[in-house]
Structure 1
Amino acid sequence: MSDTDAMHPDREMLADAPPRNSWQQWIAVAGLVYLLICAVGLIGSGFKSATGDQAEELFAFATNPFAGLVVGTVATALIQSSSTVTSIIVGLVAGGLPVAVAVPMVMGANIGTSITNTIVSLGHVREKKEFARAFSAATVHDFFNLLSVVIFLPLEIAFGLLEKIGKALAAPFYGGADASMDGFNFVKAATAPVTKAISGPILSLGDVAGGVLLILVGIAMIFLAINFIGKLLKLLMVGRAREIMHTAIGRGPVAGIASGTLVTCLVQSSSTTTSLMVPLAGSGAFGLKQIYPFTLGANIGTCLTALLAATAVTGNSEAALQIAFIHLTYNVLGVLVIYGLPFLRFLPVRAAEWLGRTAAEQKSIALAYILGVFFVIPALCLGITALL
């Protein structure tokens, strides 16, 4: 802190305080969330119109679960937003994409979102010890997500574990005439006029052409909505989120996981949440074992977007809600199993520490890791899968 800041201790607090016209920005956030939900509904309508009953044939290449995993990983790494990718997946499922095909894509989205904080850690590359700590803090999220896939993808392939749990969680909302969500879904009723007004003229171009165009319009709307929601929530909440993070980190795993979940719900971006802690780790303010639970909470908090998106889709609404619950279940079970079992708990930490030390000694390894894990290896796997 400079001498000037020391003379004015409230300056830092003012910097993190929400702007005076924050109520207008909260209204804008609400409007953008409404736009996001409408956009997911448009994707579902467009996909259903464009594919008819052929959705499964269209995604035949992804019926191999490893191909679906790669699609989710690469798409999220390129877009750098798991919220965007999972929202698109929810829309596709509503339009007819089989849930079994979508489950590995959701798993891949978890892996792909880790690239942002890994790139952020490169800002510490000039100081060897600092970079080792920062790169370890960034990649512990990667290793946790990879370990989750190693555990749960085989269980999903063998038993359909997540698909069954997601269906059971969605059933109370769609389990019968008395339980049907359609009877009280005010969100769907509120978005219907907008989705019909947009989809009507576009679908008049023809089932296939109109459906494809509607999907593109929906994806563009999701990009815009999530981008601006992220910017507004960062402006409104990052100061408070940082306070929550500083308060909770180091006070035990439960507090860390809970704060990671809460902060991610507040800023609607797990990438932002996990990136906030990288400089703290690099500076040595917190150790990797203190920060680790916070990253696990970020995985859970990011599920809120897909759950919101599933509330108002047209088409196969039950399947859309099912995949949203699968996303939540997968992340919660990942925390319970990996962090709950002592012999698994710190495997991601030890792997990240080793990689951080290695990358600090040879900087090229950091670049090779990012390109290899998020792009080269997935592309090779997808190519091999296509040939088989």
Structure 2
Amino acid sequence: MATIRQHTATLLVPTIFFGYTLYANSTLLISSTATDAHAAENKNLSLSYVIDGEATRDLDALYKKELPHREPSVGVFGNARYAVLGAGRKGVVIGDDHWFFTTEEFKKVSQADISDAVERIDGIRKQLAERGITLVVAPLPAKSDIYAEELPGSLQSSAMADAYEAFSAALRDKGLTVADTRTALVQAKPFDPVFLKSDTHWTPHGAKATAAAIQSTLQAAGLTLPQQQVTAQWQTPVSIWGDLTRYVTSPEYAPAAGLTQENLPIYRTTAESPDAGADLFGDSAGAPVMLVGTSYSANENWSFVDFLRESLSTDVVNVAKEGLGPGVPMLDLLEGGVLDESTPSVVVWEFPVRFLGTKTLWKRVTSEPEGGHHNA
């Protein structure tokens, strides 16, 4: 049975939309003809101007240049849609209490997708092993898995949890070293949020729990690393608008919709260089550990590389990249000269499971804006 909210939305949203459309289009045409002297002499806003299609052609051309009230309209319509319908634009799923999720997490990953990825990863493991480097894979669970209780009941599913478990198991069956980050995040969740409410990424608390899980994995696998003195300090926190907020409304209008910025504590670490006489890593060696992956690693706001450096008590060099998914940064690493210039003994590969089965997992796509993968 339709609710009062749904009936109101049926009438209110279209009324606002078409009212604005008429107003904006009229303003656009009038302002254009008024500022173009030649056009003002040769055309007027008559009935024939509209019927003959000239107005449509002019609007099409003008839309490509500018649209009046664009920014306010994005905010106003976004707020109305969110308030009345509890929805955002394509790309976001709205949960309870201002929890937002990317639609990329609501899919079924096939066994073929997992098998294809594992075969590729196993091949990369072999390439690194030829250089004397151990690969450690850190699959990252989906936010919609860890915070499924914040979703509408109809959207709650075990699909992404199943994908995580199947992917991790398949990697282990191939003999790869795999960190169980999902268990670490679930165990850390009661103490502080491990994912941001309005962003696809984890919190520093989630990043720290994952770093500890990777350290435990290396220890269980018998992988020893040269130990260094690591100093750490908390820095001034930063406030950001979550990347999924922009799929609901504009930041300028977000507070009116009850949305707030995410506050992030910033953690920074430094590994002290060993004494020159000790020659701990060799004359041409770099950091013992190299981190590759997505914006979960590359974006310094989450402090992941810092927590990893502290957990491992050794230096970590970060070659992760934003906006390319997990596959392309690894391919770039293998094809570039970084591994020739440095000699890490371990490469940690942060790999969100929501990328399994995507067409761009192993391809660089320059024509698609980052919004397609929510800055991962």
TM-score norm. by structure 1 comes to: 0.24
With a CA cutoff of 8 Å and minimum separation of 6, indicate the structure with the bigger relative contact order.
Answer: 1
TM-score norm. by structure 2 comes to: 0.24
Pick the structure with more strand per residue. 2
- Of structures 1 and 2, the larger Rg is shown by 2
